[in-house]
Amino acid sequence: MAEQIEASVAIATAVARCRPEVLCAYPITPQTHIVEALSRMVRAGDLAPCEMVNVESEYSACSVAIGASAAGARAYTATASQGLLYMAEALFNAAGLGLPIVMTVANRALGAPINIWNDHSDALAVRDCGFIQLYAADNQEAIDMHILAFRIAEQLSLPVMVCMDGYVLTHAIEPLELPSQEQVDSFLPPFAPRQILDPDEPMTIGAMVGPEAFTEVRYLAHLRQQEALDAIPALAQELSERTGRACGGLLSGYRTSDAALVVVAMGSVLGTLEVLIDEMRGEGLSVGALAIKTFRPFPRAEVAAALGGAARILVLERAIAIGAGGVLTDSVRWALGARQTPLHTVIAGLGGRPITRRSLRPVLEAAATGGLGELHFLDLRQDLVDRELARCRSSARPGPHAEAILREIGIVGAGPV
């Protein structure tokens, strides 16, 4: 039965039902409500046996999770943005050690300029760290993906990041269904670690490896992620059978089978896209959307198959690879192989700028008719950019762009609405 609940609290409850033994986190917006709710459960004794470690940094959060997981405990942490990058070294380490830590990333932009609102720059910046990366399109999926994440992580002995859009998802209050404790228990067996620090069977974990074996070790890590391409749909199916709804997976297509133009995207923008696609379909335009739910491992063959019928592809990116363009674009192009399907990259929703149907519609229409360039920035105020460029040319010390642009717009402290 659905209950009206703040998504962060729902995520915390879902995590609690996975019976974690060690929780560790450092506060960062917009992850805080998840951790606060978990902390309350531990303090009240509702989540036991479980240790909550209030660490002094995200680097420590990931490191505490590493120690806890290596000692055989189910470990969970959550972060976002600057915090995720502050963990970077430990992320690669946790993955390299094959420790099945589960982490929520409440996706948020990266500074400078510092910005607390949503985009995908944070998780995409660490896309190659060895964590599996799942991207939730809505809060129900975010809940289910967390339960899935623990099972995937422990079955494959790999850490998993569940990425959910900061604020847009984390702070929404809506009716959500929480899997019952019995449902979770029947899906998620107790953690049986593949390696453990145990005085009865002493082992050395994390020692140095030279060029003699490093390539093979890395290749095996890659293979393990490839295994996840089979495991994720199978486990998602198994969870679906218990909950009676679709629960994550690799991809999902919305009206793609006969679509001439397919929009590829990750995260909460899928909801907007579906409504828009319905509208445009009503007007006779042949459009569909492909949601990437698993970005690491990248489901190359599945993406290629899903895009097989598309005459044109639009990759909607909530991040920018500065100096290159899109991040997801590269993977989609790789999936297409030798196929020369025209492909457009649209950078949208950076630092919390809303992605509206009104803005998307003309872009999709232009793409459908071949009238869109290769790289497009949604809602970019070219007039502001041009004036700022001119201003900078006329001064040797022009100061921050952000300040000048906000002065021009005449609003401070809020994005354009």
Residues within the interface to other proteins (CB under 8 A): 21-22, 24, 49-51, 53-57, 59-60, 63-73, 75, 89-90, 93, 97, 196-199, 201-210, 213
Q: Which is nearer to other proteins, 64 or 368 (CB)?
A: 64
Cβ pair 249, 294 in contact under 8 A: yes
CA dist., res. 81 & res. 209, Å (int): 31
Least distance in angstroms from the C-beta of 202 to other proteins: 5
CB-nearer residue toward other proteins: 40 or 333? 40
Q: How far is the CB of 206 from other proteins (least distance, A)?
A: 4
Q: 50 or 247: whose CB is closer to other proteins?
A: 50
- Least Å distance, CB 76 to other proteins, is 12
CB 221 within 8 A of CB 96: yes
Maximum distance among all Cα pairs of the chain, rounded to whole angstroms? 72
Q: CB of residue 16 vs other proteins: minimum separation in angstroms?
A: 14
Helices marked H in 244-356 — which ranges? 269-282, 300-306, 328-336
Q: Check: CB of residue 196 under 8 Å from CB of residue 70.
A: yes
Looking at beta carbons only, is 59 or 377 nearer to other proteins?
A: 59
Of the candidates 378, 389, 387, the residue with the CA atom closest to the CA atom of residue 350 = 378
**69/104 with CB nearer other proteins:** 69
Cα separation, 230 vs 249, in Å, equals 10
Query: Which H or E element spans position 18?
Result: none
Question: Smallest distance, Å, CB 159 to other proteins?
Answer: 13
Closest separation between CB of residue 390 and other proteins, Å? 44
Per the structure block, which two tokens stand in for 150?
């623990």
Residue 54 or 359: the one with the smaller Cβ distance to other proteins is 54
10 Å CB burial of residue 177 (0-12, 13-18, 19+) is: middle
